């Protein structure tokens, strides 16, 4: 809900009266119309309007020239926004008429060509393939049922919620550098290839699998393209040349298999290197890994062993009164100790 109050008509009348006095009647046509309307509408307080206008003009003369210019520009801008001239869209309007410059003012005539283009656009829209609502809803249900157990808000998080229990075990077990991943984390790698690549631990295990199949250069090329895309602008030419020499050049040490059409487009783009010049080649390698290497990774013994050895964190035992905090055992500040206790020697008869 907007908290902007509309400008008062009395203030606008004072502004127009002040401008009329300063310019000696040289108002614009729409300003003259507003001036006459306000004169008739608030004629009972028009003497107050003129008096306020004269006082503001006298106060403006006491200021410096630079201050007068700034205040005049601010005032003019304010009233251009709150009382725009005819034909100018108001930024304060609400609803679908906001972006229409001619709404309620000028009705444009629509020609025959306009309706022909509209009919052609609607005809193309009717022939466009669309997904049925039943299929779409089924996909939503499948997505929700698949990811429900992995949602910490819907299903809770094990061993405990660190924001509630002050126990950071959950963060430590799901850290990017965790030695042994949790079972939910390993199961999430099977949701999609993107989920596997976005997890540093999953990507590392996928790299181990590709090394056994002698195709680790595909993932290395994809990572190099990601570094190029998100790296600094100054390093773009050097990174493009390094990726080309390592993966795409004839006789490269880690040459990747790319079709001829994609290679031609990539070579043309290398003439003017930019951070997206290798996007076509990266997409080709990505789809190759997604359709070939990723399904075999999910069926491999490596993934099955990871799933079997994954950690299932036990749920922490809740206290009977969860709102009570554990007592903290800490030494009091020396400033809070009595003076006699602070002067006591450390080797006295006290406890060792």
Could you list the pLDDT tens digit for every one of the 352 residues in the chain?
445 667 788 888 888 888 888 877 778 888 888 888 888 888 888 888 888 888 888 888 888 888 888 888 888 888 888 888 887 777 666 554 445 444 444 455 778 888 899 999 988 888 887 888 888 999 999 888 888 888 888 877 887 888 888 888 888 888 888 778 888 889 989 999 999 999 999 999 999 999 998 989 999 999 999 999 888 888 889 999 999 999 988 888 888 988 889 889 988 888 888 889 899 999 999 999 999 999 999 999 999 998 898 888 776 655 544 445 554 444 444 444 455 444 544 444 444 3
Q: What is the DSSP letter of 150?
A: G
Residue 290, pLDDT score: 93
**pLDDT number for residue 162:** 82
DSSP 8-state class, residue 4: P
- Domain map of the chain by residue range? 9-82, 181-309
CA dist., res. 107 & res. 3, Å (int): 32
What's the confidence (pLDDT) of residue 316? 62
pTM, to two decimals: 0.53
How far is it, in rounded angstroms, from Cα 115 to Cα 27? Answer: 42
pLDDT of the residue at 92: 66
Q: Please count the other Cβ atoms lying within 10 Å of the Cβ belonging to residue 193.
A: 20
Instruction: Judge contact between 240 and 277, C-beta under 8 A.
Output: yes
Identify the CATH number of the domain defined by range 181-309. 1.10.167.10
Q: Is 160 helix (H, G, I), strand (E, B) or coil?
A: coil
Cα 141–146–150 angle (5° rounding)? 130
182 - beta bridge partners? 311
Report the CATH number of the 9-82 domain. Answer: 1.10.1240.60
d(C-alpha 158, C-alpha 144), whole Å: 20
pLDDT of residue 317: 58
What are the backbone angles phi and psi of residue 15, rounded to the nearest 5°?
-65, -45
**Which residue, 253, 227, 250, is CA-closest to 240?**
227
Q: Are 159 and 316 in contact (CB under 8 A)?
A: yes
The set of residues, in sequence order, having a beta carbon less than 8 Å from that of 88 and lying 6+ positions away, is: 101
């Amino acid at each position: 809900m907007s908290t902007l109050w509309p400008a008062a008509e009395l203030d606008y009348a004072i502004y127009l009266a002040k401008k009329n006095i300063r310019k000696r009647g040289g108002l614009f046509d729409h300003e003259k119309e507003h001036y006459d309307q306000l004169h008739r509408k608030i004629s009972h307080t028009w003497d107050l309007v003129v008096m306020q206008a004269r006082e503001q003009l006298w106060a403006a003369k006491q200021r410096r020239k630079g201050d007068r210019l700034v205040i005049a520009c601010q005032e003019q801008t304010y009233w251009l926004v709150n009382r725009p001239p005819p034909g100018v869209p108001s930024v304060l309007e609400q609803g679908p008429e906001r972006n229409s410059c001619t709404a309620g003012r000028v009705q444009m005539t629509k020609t025959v060509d306009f309706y022909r283009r509209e009919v052609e656009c609607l005809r193309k829209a009717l022939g466009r393939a669309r997904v049925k609502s039943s299929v779409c809803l089924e996909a939503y249900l499948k997505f929700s049922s698949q990811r429900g157990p992995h949602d910490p808000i819907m299903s809770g998080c094990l061993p405990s919620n660190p924001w509630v229990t002050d126990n950071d075990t959950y963060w430590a077990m799901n850290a990017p550098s965790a030695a042994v991943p949790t079972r939910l984390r390993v199961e999430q790698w099977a949701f999609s290839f993107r989920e596997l690549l976005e997890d540093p631990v999953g990507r590392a295990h996928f790299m181990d699998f590709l090394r056994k199949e002698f195709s680790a250069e595909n993932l290395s090329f994809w990572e190099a393209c990601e570094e190029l895309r998100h790296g600094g602008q100054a390093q773009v030419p050097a990174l493009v040349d390094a990726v080309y020499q390592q993966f795409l050049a004839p006789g490269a040490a880690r040459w990747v298999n790319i079709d001829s059409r994609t290679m031609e487009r990539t070579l043309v783009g290398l003439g003017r290197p930019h951070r997206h010049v290798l996007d076509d080649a990266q997409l080709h390698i990505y789809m190759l890994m997604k359709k070939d290497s990723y399904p075999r990774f999910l069926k491999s013994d490596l993934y099955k062993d990871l799933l079997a050895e994954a950690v299932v964190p036990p749920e922490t035992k809740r206290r009977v009164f969860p709102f009570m905090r554990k007592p903290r055992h800490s030494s009091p500040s020396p400033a809070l100790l009595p003076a006699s206790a602070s002067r006591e020697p450390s080797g006295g008869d006290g406890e060792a």
